[in-house]
Structure 1
Amino acid sequence: MDSAPPPQKTSEQPPPILVALDAVSRQNPYPTYRSIQESGAFVRSEVRGWVTTIITGHADCSAVFQSPDLGSGYSAGLHAGAHRSTGSDDSGLKSLLRKDPPEHTRLRGLVNRAFTPGVVATLTAEITSVVDTLLDAALAAGEVDMIEAFARPLPLSVICRLLGVPAEDEPVFSEWVVPLVRGLAPDMTLTPEDLRARAESTHSIQDYFRGLIAEVRAKPREDLLSQLVAAGQDSDVLPEQELLDLCILLLLAGFETTVNLIGSGIVALLRNPDQLARLRAEPELVPAAIEEMLRYDPTFPFLIRTVLRDTELNGHPFSRGDSVVMLIGAANRDPDVYREPDHFDVARYAQTTSAPRHFGLGLGIHYCLGAPLARAEGAIALRALLARTEKITLLDEPSYRPSAWVRAMSRLPLRLSA
């Protein structure tokens, strides 16, 4: 099967993929995403030897998510050219994110139990306790960086407890996680320092969990790590390296999505005071508001897939080994699918409506592992924040960590008035 024509290069404009990547850490990247979307449903682009097709529409992204003909490609040696340029394999993400069936199916089955709605329901009291403790301190301070004081420590504390990490070790995990999150970007977009920091954090976390795993083997406990260690007693089921990789994945799955859900959600409410007022008046809309936050400003504006075998998507041909980038930031605001796509509406996903599904947590076999936990943490945090504050004031524009792949809010200065 012939691939689409090679991308056209012009000296006047940077390649579309670079334009999209450069927009990630802006206050508002969505006009840029819309511009790319308006240029076509399938946009061919090349940067630094990486040739890819940007997929911009909701229907086409949905098809990619659910197609067995596209995946990570790592097992088959076909992974996207974005990760080829450095030769680095120290991301700590060699487990689920870089597996395709049947390996993916085996590993996903082992860890799915950690984040089922039933398991998450048992964590409600613990999440509420962490939320209340953090809000007590934030309200006492009055003016805070809400990322540092609330959005980051909340999910980190919960996932560390779930994995059996002692509370006194949580601060060092906070330091380790940041380079890993930045390292989620394609290798070709990372600096040598980024790659070094990612590798060092990966090795530090793995060394830590090796010690913790040894403790659990000697004395099993009632936590997720003990369950995984028990599953791995047969090395054919879960070898130690896979167990270490899963620990890193679980740490990220239970962390970054919630941090940015809380941060971007607060900003969206403050920039749309009518929606904030409605949510205060109708707190039963909180679950719907969480879904709208995930649609409106997703943590991951892009996701890469590799074509595993010759295929077509809505009549568009792809060859084995081709790279595609789903532009989630555009698909989640596709005007052909969503009513007033750029409008933030806390009732869009209310039970009485039938809004199209968003891709803020992905779709298909790689659907976000920590989705139930992120939703629960976001809802509990939002309810508490609305109930315990009379006024929330944005003191300055939020800041975002430099990243070509993740909408990672790094600072959110607020004044909280009880």
Structure 2
Amino acid sequence: MAQENTKLFQQILDHSHITHPYPIYAQLRETPVCQQEDGTYVVSTYADVMALLRDPRVSSDERKSADLSKVSPATTDPEFHPTFIFQDPPAHDLLRRLVVNQFTPERIEGLRPHIEEVVQQQLEAHRQTTRMDIVDDLAYPLPVSVICRLLGVPIKDEDLFHGWSTILASTLDPGQTGTEEQKQKIIESSKQLREYLRGLVNNLRAHPEDNLLSDIIKANETEKIMTEDDIVATAGLLLIAGHETTVNLITNGMLTLLRQPEIQERLRQEPDLIISFVEEMLRYDPPVQFRTRTTLAAIDIDGITIPKGASLVLIFASGSHDPARFERPEECIPERTDNQHLGFGGGIHYCVGAPLARIEAQIALRELNRRLIEPKLDQEPPPYRANASLRGPRHLTITYKGLRP
């Protein structure tokens, strides 16, 4: 193995490479299972990532790692209680089922009018201007409004959970929370979020409303699957994951349209193409680039034996750019049909909120592309968020000549 390959993942985490990590992924695929200097195994091809996502010997509970120095400080906090996506069967399956049973297609489709309304309100607020920030003015407010409505979280509390969410999202990048000050900030944010959500859960238990969280609480009274800590952890997962990733999906999609005017024009001429375009964005420039796992036993894959207790990094974005799986993977092809991308992960931890994220992105990108007249990117490349895993521009400022009706 070339020595430089053992340092490639550190390059991905280096912010200087965040605007275009895909050439680094291509280098990693030359050694599909590549052990890094710190002992972490990075997996980068579509076939290997998919195989490990479905392997019962791979755990999403990082507390089972042989090296706890690599895991998030929030995870090692004695008060931490993992949500179901950070648990393994059978507990995972029971907890996930209760959530999925309330996350019905009817409930998600029922949010469509609200999504349409918020998108139009955010655009109309900029009718008298010729400049807007896609992130601050639409891609962030939209999913926040939707997830608050879905869960029953007061929108007035957005300032609170936005701060906690930003700090906790930083833990998705391995080894990026090294100082004691950073660790304490993460632990404190996790604690404050739990306390806030515990109060919300208690209030909804006493005064149920027509929302997802109330229905989870009610269903659990009959099934008695979740503890109080499980309910609070689930609320936190849905609140944070319900908006953080969608912000990136909308923003990355708009950035691609700004860079490729020919796709803009195609979508205006063929508005129904937005559905497959969003799927292509989940492959081409996904909101979640990679996730971490831990091995519960030794695993032989691609000629490498990964030992028990090893830390894994599964690079979804690399797998979705694997030329062994996708034709012309470095091109954005809106009409791509054979598109079983890894944008929402895979296996038992496939994203619960995928249907909602799809609807939000489809509506937001359709209307942005339809209504903005001659939009232009203000800065190339735009400034990116610090997080390499949850990758997307921090701001996406554009100029335009007006709004179509």
Partner of residue 145, structure 1: 133
| 1:321 is aligned to 2:313 | no
Partner of residue 331, structure 1: 319
- Give the whole-Å Cα distance in 2 for the aligned partners of 1:121 and 1:325: 34
| 1:395 is aligned to 2:378 | yes
Partner of residue 215, structure 2: 227
Deviates more, 1:281-290 or 1:181-190: 181-190
How many angstroms does 1:380 deviate by?
A: 1.0
How many angstroms does 1:125 deviate by?
A: 0.7
- Give the whole-Å Cα distance in 1 for the aligned partners of 2:144 and 2:66: 30
| 1:19 is aligned to 2:2 | no
Q: How does 1:22-61 map to 2 (within 5 A)?
A: 22=14, 26-38=18-30, 40-47=31-38, 51-61=39-49
Q: Deviations over 1:311-351 (max 9, x none)?
A: 33355433321222112222111112211111111111xxx
- Give the whole-Å Cα distance in 2 for the aligned partners of 1:403 and 1:170: 21
Counterpart pick for 2:340 among 348, 353, 357: 357
- Give the whole-Å Cα distance in 1 for the aligned partners of 2:145 and 2:80: 21
Q: How does 1:212-251 map to 2 (within 5 A)?
A: 212-233=200-221, 237-251=225-239
Deviates more, 1:99-108 or 1:239-248: 239-248
Counterpart pick for 1:185 among 157, 160, 173: 173
- Give the whole-Å Cα distance in 2 for the aligned partners of 1:337 and 1:13: 22
> For residue 156 of structure 1, what is the amino acid of its counterpart?
V
- Give the whole-Å Cα distance in 2 for the aligned partners of 1:395 and 1:228: 44
- Runs of at least 5 residues in structure 1 that lack an aligned partner in the other structure: 1-6
Deviates more, 1:208-217 or 1:292-301: 208-217
Counterpart pick for 2:390 among 406, 409, 417: 406
| 1:383 is aligned to 2:370 | no
How many angstroms does 1:26 deviate by?
A: 2.0
- Seen in structure 2, the aligned counterparts of structure 1 residues 137 and 200 have a Cα distance that, compared at 3 Å, is farther
- Seen in structure 2, the aligned counterparts of structure 1 residues 386 and 56 have a Cα distance that, compared at 3 Å, is same
1:83/1:188 contact within 8 Å kept: no
- Give the whole-Å Cα distance in 2 for the aligned partners of 1:163 and 1:228: 10
- Seen in structure 2, the aligned counterparts of structure 1 residues 25 and 206 have a Cα distance that, compared at 3 Å, is farther
1:155/1:258 contact within 8 Å kept: yes
TM-score by length of structure 2 reads 0.91
How many angstroms does 1:24 deviate by?
A: 8.0
Deviates more, 1:131-140 or 1:338-347: 131-140
- Seen in structure 2, the aligned counterparts of structure 1 residues 98 and 139 have a Cα distance that, compared at 3 Å, is same
Q: How does 1:249-398 map to 2 (within 5 A)?
A: 249-348=237-336, 353=337, 355-397=338-380, 398=382
Corresponding residue pairs, total: 400
Task: State the Cα RMSD in Å.
Answer: 2.5
How many angstroms does 1:66 deviate by?
A: 1.2
SS of equivalent residue, structure 2 residue 379? coil
- Give the whole-Å Cα distance in 2 for the aligned partners of 1:155 and 1:197: 25
The structure richer in helix per residue is 2
Indicate the percent of aligned positions where both proteins have the same amino acid. 37
Q: Deviations over 1:43-85 (max 9, x none)?
A: 11123xxx1221111111111111112122447x336656348
